[in-house]
Every structure is written in C-alpha cells, then in structure tokens.
Amino acid sequence: MLAPEQQQSYEDQGFLVVRGMFNPADLAPWSERFLDIVEERIPPAKDMTVMRDVMVVKGVVDPETPSAAIAKIQDFHNDEVLFDGYAKHPSLLDWVEGFIGPDIKSIHNMLINKPPGVDGRHPLHQDLLYFPFRPADKVVATWTALEPCNKENGCLVVVPGTHKGELLKHVNMNWEHQNMGYFGADGVGAHEGRVHLEMDTGDTVFFHPLLLHGSGINKSQGFRRAISCHYASAECTYLPEMLNFPHRPYLLVRGNEHDGGI
C-alpha cells in the first residue's frame, strides 16, 4: 500500500494522512455502535471503559444527554462491530503492515467523542508513554475521522518531526477542565511548530508513537468524533523493568506470534 514517497514522508514527518480511506457506509455502524452504547441500548462489551467528560462532573454538560457526556469509549476489543469492523479492517491492516511489518498486534483502541460545549483539549503528548515495549518504530497509531474534523471543532494537532526525539517527561497539566489521564509533555506548551490536521469523514492519519500530538477545544455546535487504534509488531520485546507491568491484552490481528515478543 505504501508508496516510497509516502514511506519517506512518514519517516521525515512522523505521520501520514490517507484521504478517503473509508466511505460513509463503512463508518456508519461504528458511530451507531457508539450511540447504542452510550444511550444504553446495548451494554458495553467486557473490559470496555465508557469515560465521562470532566464537564459532567463540573455540571456544565447535562448527564441526561449521554452522547454529550461521554469523552471516549476505550478498550473495545470484545465489541465485534468496532473491533472486527475497524481494528481488523483488511485495508487498514494493509497500511499498518507497511509501517510495522507483517506480524501485527492490536494493543489499544478507542472512540473519542468531543461534544459541543466541552473543553475537550488534549495537551501535546507522546503515546509511547503508555507502551512497555520497544522498538518505538514498530508501533503505529491510526486515527480516522468519523465527521469532518477542523480547527473549529478541535481536530488533531501534530508537531512534524518530533518522532525523532526522545520520550519526554509527561505531567498532569492541571488545566481547569482537563479530562482524567490526558497527560501532556512537560514544558512543550502549545509548540509553535504545531500543524492542524484538518480531515474529512473517513480520512485516516497514521502516526509514530513519539510524535507530539494533541487536540484543541471544540468551539463548534456539533460533535467531533474519531476512532483510533494502536498496533505494534509482535516482534517487539518488553523493557526489562516493565516485564510485570499490567497491560491491556495485546491481540494478534495479522501474521504470527514471535517467541520472546509481546
């Protein structure tokens, strides 16, 4: 799938946007599933976390409007519509294979919901912080827009080239309306080199786990939603100090297991 110039661009910039990767008919079941879960028409699958936005706790968002109250659903590996439909999608995995090779594990997944009227900012951070194995180059994130994502509704923001740096120290930013677990890279701030990735429905960005990225406030009247998965090569090995670190299930979605791998 990956043309040499796309490979080069990913190596130089740390991300690659693929336009029109999914069409609206592909995306509709994932958005519907999200609404079915948060509006309690179906129970969340085993292990799934349905995370409320901090604005609910602060009384800004009406908890009676569930789709407005939920910041994300996480760990959907037991939900066949989301996991089989998105995380195991053959075309998505073809691209992932181009970045990290043929033996692929799904290591994390989520559907992020940024409702109107919430802050929803995610400070610039590096996802490698959450993964107890290496090498970093054998890990890639996918992030697919479920609606048009733009500067006004808090699209993804990246800092090109930062994947060539080290894993930085991360801290709780102590912003007034920061959601739980939204840590930021210490001392990076808004970063003048940041670029807003305006994406249309179905566009997908692939990015390196050391790339600084985040997102802004949703200032629009609509929802900003995206579905995202992280993958790692089954060849990756645990950092010695992290061997007994509790982690999510890492599930083989293509290729083969590796002896001594994750």
- Closest separation in Å from C-beta 125 to ligand AKG: 6
* Residue closer to ligand AKG, measured from CB, 138 or 213: 213
- Considering only residues 153 through 192, tell me which ones interact with ligand AKG, judged by CB under 6 A: 156
- Closest separation in Å from C-beta 172 to ligand AKG: 15
* Residue closer to ligand AKG, measured from CB, 94 or 222: 222
> Between the CA of residue 1 and those of 9, 92, 224, 247, 262, what are the distances in Å?
14, 10, 28, 31, 25
Give the three-class secondary structure for 29.
helix
Q: Which of 213, 218, 231, 234 binds ligand AKG (CB under 6 A)?
A: 213
Read out DSSP for 192-241?
A: TT-EEE-B-TT-EEEE-TTS-EEE----SSS-EEEEEEEEEETT-EE-GG
Give the three-class secondary structure for 124.
strand
Per-residue contact flags (x/-) with ligand AKG for residues 108 to 127, judged by CB under 6 A:
----x---------x----x
Token pair recorded at residue 104 = 């692929």
24 HSE (CA, 13 A, CB side): 3
By CB under 6 A, is residue 2 in contact with ligand AKG? no
| Strand runs labelled E in 159-197 | 170-171, 184-185, 195-197
Selected range binding ligand AKG among 32-40, 81-89, 170-178, 208-216, rule: CB under 6 A: 208-216
Q: Which of 13, 144, 215, 218 binds ligand AKG (CB under 6 A)?
A: 215
Rounded CA-CA distance 41/236 in Å is 39
Rounded CA-CA distance 163/124 in Å is 13
- Closest separation in Å from C-beta 176 to ligand AKG: 18
- Closest separation in Å from C-beta 72 to ligand AKG: 7
- Identify the H or E element spanning 108: strand 104-114
Rounded CA-CA distance 126/58 in Å is 28
* Residue closer to ligand AKG, measured from CB, 18 or 226: 226
By CB under 6 A, is residue 225 in contact with ligand AKG? no
* Residue closer to ligand AKG, measured from CB, 33 or 122: 122
Given the rule CB under 6 A, which residues bind ligand AKG?
112, 122, 127, 156, 213-215, 226
